[in-house]
Structure formats: structure tokens, C-alpha cells
């Protein structure tokens, strides 16, 4: 623990100390030794030096300004500056502009900046109304927006903003989130009637939010924390942690106060054996291929391992999913995606799509090899195919090993594999396979990769009856001398 500064003029510290994402800059309220007044300060961890950022002309209670947040990139500091004793305005500091008075849209009333986004371009806080009610406010491009509920009633102050600047969060009686596009959305409480709550922190894109609810009246430390996502809604933070198999150490996570950009670290205050303690919760991050846009590219014969744990649910079954992609190599192929490896430890489901919209499903398979999946589909040689790995059952996740194999797909017009011929194609019932070499075996598969017919042949010419199969596209796999080729056939 390294002390870096303190309040020395006898007045209590105002504001809060915050740190940039890379840990190189700290903003806090510090006593200016030149005037013995407390001011916004910016500490450089490398040089170990403070820069005093000043005020906007007034002072009150031993200070001229107070720091409330630093942007994640460390380029901007926001907080409060005193105009006169008892009245203050929100302020923003950057190296290029210095300390800027953000003003008040209500005459003779105060405002304050509580937080700012990644680069300091969006600022959130509160604006005093004419009645003295602190209404939530957002500043962007020099303009202030006051937040109201769907009935146009003012809501309480904004406590934090997502790193991308899209989502502002806070609470009046209930926790809420707000964006310019959606307006205010209340987060449905799971806690006892009469408890009041607020959202306190969010990850970079606003998809994960933490906050608290408490008995009213009563301090937050006697309440309970929550974590929220679009998929799960509000979940008690202790239940969430223990549900992941983690030990909560007997701490009630009453007041989560901060979250990392990636949503994997949560800090705050809680109660343990009746004592107030700080806590840090470290969560596993989502897989890198959690979304179709970040699908991992596969090549023929690849063997990869992965997990769906901590992934989101993007469609298909009601379970987390991850994505891979395969692009053809100019020749038509039969592609097989298999999860049949013994390292796959959960009930899987495979889906193949033509694009990331996930609207055109080409093939799928559930239980090809026990509870594990394997699917075969035809590549036209040029298109990109999206492979989704997910659980077969609701909320099921686990680890897996995936293998992709590719086999050149021949049409009946090609003279390949020693001039094998299949006719008639299309057919109504029988097909005849003619080959210069003895065929050991012929297998018929449907487009989902399911084996429909398997017959030993030991002949150079062999007929197979397809009349029991529904009309559609099938694949005839011919096997001779431990070599195989697959042909597309059509049954009308």
C-alpha cells in the first residue's frame, strides 16, 4: 500500500478517488498547499506527481472543487466546482481545455458530474430542480439532457455511464437504465416490497449492470447486491456467485460499487460476521467466439477445444452458444463437424447457418454419438458457413473438442474415383452404382448427417433400393480398398 496524498486542512474529503483503466492516472480531491483549499487533483503514477486542477471561482467548506470520476483512458476528470458558498456546478477537465464550468440549466441551482465514459465525451450526474430535487442528467456535445420516466416525471441522479457512452444508470425508488434511443427502462426488482435500490456500475457496453437494494429507511450496507443482464434479468449477487460454484466466504455482497470494462471483476462493500468489509469478485470471461461476429475460422482437419461456459445465448436452444466459421476452398466438399471426442463433457447440439443473421439453418444434429453431436453438410466450395455449438438442454454448458473433416464431393457427371457411375440420378427408387473396382460398402446419408442405409456390396456393380426414404437430397458414400468418395444423389 503506497500513500499518494491526503486532505490536510481539517475539512472532510469530498468526492471520490478513481483510477484510469491502465492504472496510470488517479483523480481525487487533494489539499492545495499554496492556498490550503481542497481541489480536484490528477496524480501521475509514473512520475509520482500531483497536478492541481483548480476551481471555477468560488469556495465552500474548505474547498474550491472536488473530483468524482476519471475517464477510463485517463484523459478527462469530472466533478464539482463551487460557484459561491453553497452553490456548485458540474465541471470537466482535459489537458487541452483545462477546467470547464458545465453550468446549470436551472437558475441559481447546483449541478454535479458523477461519472464519464471511456474518452470523457459523455458525462452523467445530477441537476438540481427548482424544488431542490436532484434530477438525473446527461451531458454530451455540450448539451444537457434531463432524464424522466415514461410518464415524464423526473428521476434521481445518474450514478454511472457505460464505457461506450450509450447507457446511463441510476435509481430513484428502483434501479433503472437509460439510453437516448430507449428512454428510461426500470429494472424489475427481485427484492422485498418497500426496498429501494439503484444501479451503481456497468461494463463497457452496458450489457452487465450491478447495483443494490436496501430496506427503507436504512443504509445500503444492510441491503443486498444484484447483477443484471438482458438474458437473466436481475439476480441476487450472492446467488449468482454461489451458482457459479464459487465460495462467497460468508460475505453478503451488499453494495457493489464498481465493475471492470469486460464485466469480469466486481468490487464493493459487504458484511461478514457483522463487520463491514471490502470485496473483489473475479468472474470468468466469456469465450472469444461468444458472438457470431467473432467466430473462430476453421480449416480442414482442424481439432480445437473450447467451452460454452460464460457464453451468451444468441439463438437456437435456450442455452449458451459459441461460433466457428468455415469457407470453401473452391471445390464442392462434404464437411463433417464432430463433437464426438471423449473430452466433450455435456449434452451438445450443432447447427450450421449460411450467415450471422442465424435465419437460414442448413443442417443440425443433436445426439449422433450418445449425447454428443456430429453433423455433415455440403459446401459449394466458395460460401462461408457458420457453425454454432450449444447445449441441447436449457442452460446446459460445458467443454468440448471439435474436429472438422472435409471430403471432396463429386457429382455424377465427373469421372473420378476410377470412373464410378451412379444412375439414374435423380431416381424414384433404385440407384445403381457401377465401378471398375470392387466396392466393399455403400452408405446413404441425409443432409443432417444421419446414416440411413448401410450395405456391404463386394461387387463392381450394385443396386440400392431408396423407396423407403422420403424425397430429397442424399449422399452416397462408396468405400473400396479403405478409400471412400461421396456423391450427391436426388430422390424424387
Q: Taking phi first (over 0 means left), then psi (-120 to 50 degrees means alpha), and beta for anything else, what does residue 182 get?
A: alpha
* Cβ neighbours for 294, distance < 8 A, ≥ 6 positions apart: 288, 323
> How far is the C-alpha of 171 from the C-alpha of 199, rounded, in Å?
6
Domains within the chain, CATH numbers bracketed: 18-282 (2.120.10.30), 292-409 (2.60.120.380), 413-491 (2.60.40.3080)
Q: Is the pTM of this model over 0.85?
A: no
Q: Which three cell numbers stand for residue 123?
A: 458525462
The cell 436504512 sits on which residue? Answer: 218
> How far is the C-alpha of 365 from the C-alpha of 372, rounded, in Å?
9
Q: Are strands 321-327 and 421-423 parallel, antiparallel or unpaired?
A: unpaired
Tens digit of pLDDT for each residue in 153-179?
Answer: 999 999 999 999 999 999 989 999 999
Tens digit of pLDDT for each residue in 96-118?
Answer: 999 999 999 999 999 999 999 99
> How far is the C-alpha of 89 from the C-alpha of 102, rounded, in Å?
6
> How far is the C-alpha of 187 from the C-alpha of 174, rounded, in Å?
7
Length of the chain, in residues = 492
Q: Which three cell numbers stand for residue 144?
A: 444537457
φ, ψ at 52 (rounded to 5°): -85, 125
Collect the ranges in the chain with pLDDT lower than 50.
411-416
Cis peptide before 424 (omega within 30 of 0): yes
3-state secondary structure of 299: coil
> How far is the C-alpha of 369 from the C-alpha of 348, rounded, in Å?
10
How confident is the model at residue 379, as a pLDDT? 93
Amino acid at each position: 500500500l503506497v500513500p499518494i496524498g491526503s486532505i490536510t486542512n481539517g475539512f472532510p474529503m469530498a468526492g471520490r478517488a478513481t483510477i484510469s483503466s491502465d492504472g496510470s492516472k488517479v483523480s481525487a480531491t487533494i489539499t492545495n498547499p499554496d492556498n490550503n483549499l481542497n481541489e480536484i487533483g490528477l496524480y501521475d503514477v509514473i512520475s509520482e506527481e500531483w497536478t492541481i486542477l483548480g476551481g471555477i471561482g468560488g469556495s465552500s467548506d474548505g474547498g474550491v472543487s472536488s473530483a468524482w470520476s476519471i475517464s477510463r483512458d485517463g484523459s478527462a476528470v469530472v466533478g464539482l466546482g463551487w460557484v459561491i458558498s453553497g452553490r456548485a456546478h458540474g465541471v470537466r477537465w482535459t489537458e487541452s481545455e483545462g477546467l470547464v464550468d458545465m453550468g446549470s440549466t436551472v437558475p441559481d441551482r447546483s449541478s454535479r458530474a458523477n461519472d464519464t465514459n471511456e474518452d470523457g465525451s459523455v458525462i452523467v450526474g445530477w441537476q438540481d430542480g427548482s424544488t431542490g430535487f436532484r434530477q438525473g442528467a446527461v451531458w454530451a456535445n455540450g448539451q444537457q439532457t434531463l432524464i424522466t420516466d415514461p410518464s415524464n416525471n423526473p428521476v434521481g441522479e445518474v450514478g454511472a455511464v457505460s464505457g461506450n457512452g450509450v447507457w446511463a444508470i441510476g435509481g430513484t425508488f428502483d434501479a433503472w437504465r437509460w439510453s437516448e434511443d430507449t428512454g428510461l427502462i426500470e429494472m424489475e426488482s427481485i427484492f422485498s416490497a418497500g426496498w429501494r435500490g439503484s444501479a451503481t456500475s456497468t461494463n463497457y457496453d452496458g450489457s452487465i449492470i450491478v447495483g443494490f437494494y436496501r430496506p427503507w429507511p436504512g443504509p445500503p450496507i444492510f441491503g443486498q447486491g444484484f447483477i443484471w443482464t438482458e438474458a437473466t434479468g436481475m439476480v441476487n449477487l450472492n446467488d449468482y456467485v454461489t451458482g457459479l460454484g464459487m465460495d462467497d466466504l460468508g460475505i453478503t455482497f451488499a453494495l457493489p460499487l464498481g465493475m471492470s470494462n469486460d464485466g469480469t471483476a466486481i468490487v464493493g462493500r459487504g458484511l461478514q460476521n457483522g463487520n463491514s468489509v471490502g470485496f473483489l469478485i473475479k468472474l470468468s470471461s466469456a469465450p472469444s467466439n461468444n458472438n457470431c461476429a467473432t467466430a473462430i475460422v476453421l480449416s480442414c482437419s482442424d481439432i480445437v477445444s473450447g467451452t460454452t461456459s460464460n457464453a451468451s445465448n444468441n439463438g437456437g436452444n435456450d442455452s449458451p452458444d459459441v461460433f466457428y466459421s468455415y469457407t470453401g476452398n473452391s471445390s464442392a466438399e462434404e464437411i463433417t463437424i464432430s463433437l464426438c471426442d471423449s473430452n466433450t463433457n455435456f449434452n451438445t447440439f450443432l447447427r450450421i447457418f449460411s450467415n450471422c443473421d442465424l435465419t437460414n439453418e442448413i443442417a443440425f444434429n443433436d445426439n449422433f454419438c450418445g449425447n454428443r453431436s456430429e453433423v455433415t453438410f455440403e459446401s459449394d466450395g466458395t460460401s462461408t458457413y457458420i457453425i454454432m455449438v450449444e447445449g441441447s438442454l436449457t442452460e446446459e454448458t460445458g467443454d468440448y473438442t471439435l474436429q472438422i473433416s472435409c471430403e471432396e464431393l463429386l457429382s455424377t457427371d465427373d469421372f473420378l474415383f476410377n470412373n464410378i457411375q451412379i444412375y439414374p440420378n435423380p431416381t424414384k427408387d433404385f440407384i445403381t452404382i457401377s465401378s471398375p473396382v470392387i466396392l466393399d460398402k455403400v452408405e446413404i446419408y441425409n443432409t443432417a448427417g444421419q446414416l440411413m442405409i448401410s450395405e456391404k456390396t463386394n461387387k463392381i456393380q450394385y443396386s440400392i433400393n431408396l423407396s423407403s426414404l422420403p424425397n430429397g437430397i442424399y449422399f452416397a458414400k462408396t468405400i473400396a480398398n479403405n478409400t471412400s468418395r461421396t456423391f450427391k444423389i436426388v430422390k424424387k
